[in-house]
């Protein structure tokens, strides 16, 4: 291999949320643990001990009650403050090794290994050991010549004792490709995987050696790129600068099914306020608002409705006062009496920087006034907690909110909640 060929390492935290909880509560070590998402009570992280009896990723808790009881699985609500802080610590620790680092998600980062001198495997081990010691979080490291291959290597590294796998060597690569199924390849979605399997392309090796023109025809650019990346041709270089957000989504499942339009309005008003607040924090404005609402798809015995509608805004805005009436118009239009709604959400899309608003010839929102009011609102809510000051439309005593269980303390970010010895 040429010495200047690109080499990527994917560092991925093992069962990240569970590892964060275990760091401050070592009693959870060796026990089956799952962490639930706050909005819909699905298992979003599982310890290996919880994966073993067959608790799948994203499974709602009510579907696994029996397994949970039988295996005495510890069920924890999520504590995103803690996970966010530990994620930053992991990324900072990785930053000690290279400036060329792409934070890919809360628990994964791609590192440029192109300039690593000496054995790649040893460097991987060194990083793994250091992250574990500094932050307490166990990670796995997959190394190869493209991001897709590094991701594939990482998946296999998780199953090895050492937690590090270097697939830059072609012989081992061949073997790894032959034991990876197409649905486990990065950027191959479940529909594409189904299509490939129907055409007898079962393994990553088969996909690599398939006819790239045919793949491009059938699976478009993403599929084509997957083939090239499996062949060691880099299509996705490292992205070290974070691109600005393209959309903001706030959605939650309700604590109980909603049939009343009033409650639905309150919920959507709350989500709209929260989304607008996020928008203002990033100094962006939105040109479009989408509202969606869903009934419980697991209750096949009840009437089903999945509704969604998008409206453009006359002038791009981040004012809750401008967004709210439009969100409520959509609620009015979508709502169907006689349905039990389980979840609703608001998506703001086509985001642009707040200082580049294009004015409308016919409509002039009271912008300065709104801006000042929103600024006060945000300041008060930052100081005294989210939701201290809110618009009447969001309701005074919402009963529809999901009751989150008691999360673990914010051990590493809050003076009042430090671990005790």
Partner 1 sequence: MNHGGKRTGAGRPKGTGKYGSATKAVRLPTELAAQILELLHTPSEPGNLQVTEIIRPDRCTTQELPLYESPVAGGVHSPAEEYVEGRLDLNKYLIKHPAATFFVRVSGESMTGAGIHPGDLLIVDRAVEAAHGKVVIAVINGELTVKRLHRVGDSLCLMPENSAYPVLNILESMNFEVWGVVTHSIHGV
Contact positions toward partner 1, by CB under 8 A?
24, 26-27, 29, 88-90, 92-93, 96, 133-136, 411-416, 418-421
Q: Which is nearer to partner 1, 30 or 189 (CB)?
A: 30
3-class secondary-structure state, position 380 = helix
Could you tell me how many residues make up the chain?
421
- Taking the complex as a whole, the smallest distance from the CB of residue 136 to partner 1 amounts, in Å, to 7
- Taking the complex as a whole, the smallest distance from the CB of residue 410 to partner 1 amounts, in Å, to 11
- Taking the complex as a whole, the smallest distance from the CB of residue 318 to partner 1 amounts, in Å, to 24
For residue 131, which of 47, 23, 228, 51 has the smallest C-alpha distance?
Answer: 23
For residue 306, which of 297, 294, 291, 298 has the smallest C-alpha distance?
Answer: 294
- Encode 322-353: b = buried (16+ Cβ within 10 Å), e = exposed: bbbebbbebbeebbeeebbbbbbbbbbeebee
Q: Which is nearer to partner 1, 300 or 420 (CB)?
A: 420
Q: Which is nearer to partner 1, 136 or 314 (CB)?
A: 136
- Taking the complex as a whole, the smallest distance from the CB of residue 235 to partner 1 amounts, in Å, to 32
- Taking the complex as a whole, the smallest distance from the CB of residue 149 to partner 1 amounts, in Å, to 29
List Cα–Cα distances, 275 to 194, 347, 381, in angstroms. 36, 8, 14
Tell me how far apart the alpha carbons of residues 139 and 99 are, in angstroms, rounded to a whole number. 19
- Taking the complex as a whole, the smallest distance from the CB of residue 8 to partner 1 amounts, in Å, to 22
List CB contacts of 390: < 8 A, sequence separation 6 or more. Answer: 270, 273, 381
Q: Which is nearer to partner 1, 214 or 384 (CB)?
A: 384
Q: Give phi and psi for 97, each to the nearest 5.
A: -95, -35
Q: Which is nearer to partner 1, 361 or 421 (CB)?
A: 421
Tell me how far apart the alpha carbons of residues 270 and 273 are, in angstroms, rounded to a whole number. 5
Q: Which is nearer to partner 1, 244 or 419 (CB)?
A: 419
């Amino acid at each position: 291999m040429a010495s200047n060929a690109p080499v990527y390492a994917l560092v991925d935290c093992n069962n990240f949320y569970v590892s964060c909880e275990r760091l401050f509560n070592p009693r959870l070590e060796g026990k089956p643990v799952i962490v639930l998402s706050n909005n819909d009570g699905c298992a979003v992280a599982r310890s290996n001990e919880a994966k073993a009896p067959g608790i799948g990723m994203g499974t709602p808790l009510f579907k696994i009650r029996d397994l949970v009881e039988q295996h005495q699985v510890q069920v924890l609500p999520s504590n995103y403050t803690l996970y966010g802080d530990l994620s930053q610590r992991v990324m900072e620790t990785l930053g000690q090794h290279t400036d060329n680092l792409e934070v890919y998600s809360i628990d994964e980062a791609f590192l440029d290994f192109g300039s690593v001198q000496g054995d790649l495997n040893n460097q991987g081990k060194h990083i793994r050991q250091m992250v574990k010691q500094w932050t307490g979080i166990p990670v796995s490291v997959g190394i190869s010549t493209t991001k897709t291959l590094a991701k594939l290597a990482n998946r296999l590294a998780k199953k090895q004792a050492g937690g590090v796998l270097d697939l830059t060597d072609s012989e081992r690569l061949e073997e790894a490709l032959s034991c990876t199924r197409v649905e486990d390849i990065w950027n191959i979605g479940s529909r594409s995987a189904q299509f490939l399997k129907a055409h007898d392309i079962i393994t990553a090796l088969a996909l690599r050696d398939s006819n790239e023109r045919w793949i491009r025809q059938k699976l478009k650019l993403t599929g084509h790129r997957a083939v090239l990346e499996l062949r060691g041709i880099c299509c996705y270089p490292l992205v070290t600068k974070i691109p600005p957000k393209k959309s903001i989504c706030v959605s939650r499942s309700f604590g109980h099914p909603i049939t009343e339009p009033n409650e639905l309005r309150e919920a959507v008003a709350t989500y709209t306020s929260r989304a607008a607040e996020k928008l203002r924090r990033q100094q962006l404005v939105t040109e479009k608002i989408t509202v969606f609402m869903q009934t419980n798809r697991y209750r096949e015995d009840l009437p089903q409705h999945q509704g969604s509608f998008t409206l453009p805004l006359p002038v791009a805005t981040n004012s809750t006062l401008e967004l709210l009436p439009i969100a409520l118009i959509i609620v009015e239009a979508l709502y169907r009496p006689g349905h039990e709604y389980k979840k609703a959400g608001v998506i703001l899309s086509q985001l642009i920087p707040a200082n580049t608003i294009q004015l409308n010839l016919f409509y002039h929102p009271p912008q300065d006034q709104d801006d000042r009011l929103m600024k006060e609102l945000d300041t008060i809510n930052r100081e005294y907690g989210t939701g201290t000051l809110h618009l009447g439309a969001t309701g005074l005593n919402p009963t529809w909110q999901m009751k989150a269980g008691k999360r673990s303390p914010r051990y590493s970010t809050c003076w009042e909640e430090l671990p005790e010895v």
